[in-house]
Amino acid sequence: MGYETEYRIEHDTMGEVQVPVSCRWGAQTQRSKENFKIGGQRQPMEIIRAFSYLKEACACVNAREGKLTPEQAEAVSAACEEIRAGKWDEEFPLVVWQTGSGTQTNMNVNEVIAHLAADRNVALHPNDHVNCSQSSNDTFPSALHIAAVLTVTENVLPAARRLEESFAALEAKYPDLIRIGRTHLQDATPLKFAQEVSGWRELVAAPCRMMELSLTQLRQLAIGGTAVGTGLNAPAGFDRKVCAELSRLTGIAFEPDSNKFHALTSKDALVFAHGALKALACNLMKIANDIRFEASGPRCGMGELHIPENEPGSSIMPGKVNPTQCEAVTMVAVQVMGNDTAISVAASQGNFQLNVFLPVCAYNFMLSARLLTDAMDSFRIHCVDGITADEKQMAGNLNRSLMLVTCLTPEIGYERAAQCAKKALHDGSTLKEAVLALGYLDEAAYDILVRPEKMV
């Protein structure tokens, strides 16, 4: 036997709405919950956390401007601190697929803060007090930028740096090990394994520098623009003062966008920043592919690397183990590339004074950041940290390679060198045997010239 839900009556400008008594949201949140039963993907909690910083900063400034009492501002601050601590996560039930400005999410935050203040016997109206000097049109873009800066700074970049360190350790482990290189999936000239790993390390580091560059634009906020960018109903200097409070609360230097008509309608900074996330995803795809191909086998593949064996690989083939961490990374990379397309299309849809694709931008950006963070940590812990080189297999492939002939080009010329390589391939002989058979060098001269350690 179930229990019937108990309701209380809330009202907004459209009339009365029944809200479950256990919930701390109000009428507009309830309307959105009932009107947008789409998909089930909830607004990212990173956005809610960003809103809590923004609402607290706005309340502090509004109190100094005489638009809120100190008691009201303190109640907002206390509620926002609890929201950031995760105490009220279930009070933010709204889905991504709602109004494109994110108005209902802004009001969801406003209503929850007002109800939490009421628990402290402080009367706050969601619009008149919590939303004072603000509009959804400038708060949601601001929260989106704040959330992007925080998640890149606190999550993506640290995970990437941990992965860089793992590659640096692998690089240091094999300082002099030589392997055959490959270009176009064909044998090429030799290189040190450490040199290859240094490339993987830089494939992680380079997009991090791009991300750091993108933060400069993301730290510029739309707050203070209110409805259409004119700043109607906000006090003079509100944008600058709110950004100063945000900087104090977060430890990150936020500043007002100098042109609010740009800030409300354009998502170019987000596109640029997500482009850096996509660059990282593309590079992780390359690294994971390299590792799984070089670890292929165990007997009929390249077999030059050994990676950790984490779980059985087949339900039908006993003893099979697969490069599952590499596969997870590559799937994440594909998803991030798809997210980038969604953000790009959404950003192109700023019409007149507002872009109304903000929630889908937020959802995809935060999903990419979360996936990349988790995937890099998982890849590092369960794969990269356990990689070892099969030095015997590397040496065998190196010595069988015909591209060692490249070092003979200065001595016998390109065409003769090519003739030697083709003869060896055709006859199934070694390169040395082919060179001696054609009479281009004697054995002593060949041994002096063909030294892989001199080719790296």
Point out the residues that are catalytic: 184, 314
CA dihedral 134→135→136→142, nearest 10 degrees, is -50
The CA distances from residue 375 to 30, 46, 169, 332, 382, in Å, are 36, 18, 19, 7, 10
Three-state secondary structure call for residue 388: strand
Q: Are 340 and 272 in contact (CB under 8 A)?
A: no
Identify which of 284, 306, 282, 283 has the alpha carbon closest to the alpha carbon of residue 294: 306
Tell me the C-alpha distance between 221 and 57, whole Å: 13
Tell whether the torsion through CA atoms of 230, 95, 41 and 249 is positive or negative. positive
Identify which of 322, 319, 274, 315 has the alpha carbon closest to the alpha carbon of residue 295: 322
Tell me the C-alpha distance between 43 and 143, whole Å: 12
CA 444 to chain centre: 56
Tokens of 275: 């482009």
Tell me the C-alpha distance between 363 and 369, whole Å: 10
Identify which of 43, 106, 149, 37 has the alpha carbon closest to the alpha carbon of residue 364: 43
Q: 19 - beta bridge partners?
A: 8
Tell me the C-alpha distance between 378 and 366, whole Å: 18
DSSP state of 299: S
DSSP H or E stretch at residue 199: helix 193-218
Tokens of 84: 């950031």
Tell me the C-alpha distance between 269 and 248, whole Å: 23
Cis peptide bond upstream of 93, omega within 30: no
Indicate the angle between helix axes 358-382 and 157-173, nearest 10 degrees: 30
Q: Where are the alpha helices (DSSP H) in 85-192?
A: 103-119, 136-151, 157-173
